Amino acid sequence: MKIEIWSDIVCPWCYIGKRRFETALASFEHRDAVQVIWRSFELDPDAPVRLGMPLDDMLARKYGMSLSEAKAANARVTELAAGEGLSYHLETARPGNSFAAHRLVHLAGTKGLAGAAHERLMKAYFTDGLAIGDRGVLARLGVEVGLDADDARRALEADDYAQQVRDDENRAAQFGIRGVPFFAIEETWGISGAQPLAEFQNALVTSWNEWNERGKSAV
């Protein structure tokens, strides 16, 4: 059973949703028969490589809220992330464009490392305070997950996998996906947002049963 996940590296809810989905999948009876495919989505395609301002300030400016309101919002999402075992340090996050990071995930996907790359990049942004828009940083992170240093550097410098990122985003538009995370199961069932663990568990069981019944009916 194929599950496609649209996510942005710099989306705090995407990391929370990723962890909840993975927890649900780990306890799913048929997990070995599930294929997970990571799809690219940019919340802000026009963002500069480095935004040059703290995340609190960026949030306040983007959503027209006060700085104290932005800090409170980031504190709330940090607390929720901690409940999933994630350590957010949003005060040190370095906002910027995620396009090159998505390209690196596609490169990693050619080696079967897309999931590992997505995880490392999110940790780099939300926990380690690294600038994931910086190609030098990305190349080093690629090596950490098992990519060849020269391959990663060449791919990032040459804009390799740019079309794959655009294809993912166009596919999201065709599905009507306007926010992430979004989980599409066999192009039939969809889960929008960082739903509670039970929602992911129920969706896996329900979609698996219906998918198998559909397969039997087609025979």
Q: What is the pLDDT along the chain (219 residues), one digit of tens a residue?
A: 999 999 999 999 999 999 999 999 999 999 999 999 999 999 999 999 888 889 999 899 988 999 999 999 999 999 999 999 999 999 999 999 999 999 999 999 999 999 999 999 999 999 999 999 999 999 999 999 999 999 999 999 998 999 999 999 999 999 999 999 999 999 999 999 999 999 999 999 999 999 988 876 554
Long-range contacts of 169-178 (CB under 8 A, 24+ apart): 169/40, 169/41, 169/42, 171/39, 172/6, 172/39, 172/41, 177/6, 177/41
User: Would you state the pLDDT for residue 53?
Assistant: 87
Which domains does the chain possess? 2-218 (3.40.30.10)
Distances (CA, A) of 209 to 1, 184, 190: 11, 16, 15
The residue among 159, 211, 147, 215 whose CA lies nearest residue 3 is: 211
The pTM (predicted TM-score) of the whole model is 0.94
What pLDDT, on a 0 to 100 scale, did the predictor assign at position 42? Answer: 97
pLDDT of residue 97: 95
pLDDT at 210: 94
Q: Residue 36 and residue 8: Cα distance in Å, rounded? A: 16
- One-letter amino acid of 169: E
Query: Does the CA dihedral 137-143-144-147 come out positive or negative?
Result: positive
Scanning the chain, the segments in alpha helix (DSSP H) are: 12-26, 55-63, 67-83, 99-109, 114-126, 135-144, 149-157, 162-175, 197-218
Q: Which residues pair with 185 in a beta bridge?
A: 3, 189
List residues bridging with 19 in a β-sheet: none
pLDDT value at residue 17: 98
CB-based contact 100:109 (threshold 8 Å): no
CA atoms within 13 A on the CB side of 62: 14
> How far apart, in whole angstroms, are the C-alpha atoms of residue 76 and residue 105?
28
pLDDT of residue 217: 59
> What pLDDT is attached to residue 214?
80
Question: What pLDDT is attached to residue 51?
Answer: 84
Angle value at C-alpha 115, between 192 and 213, nearest 5 degrees: 55
pLDDT of residue 219: 42
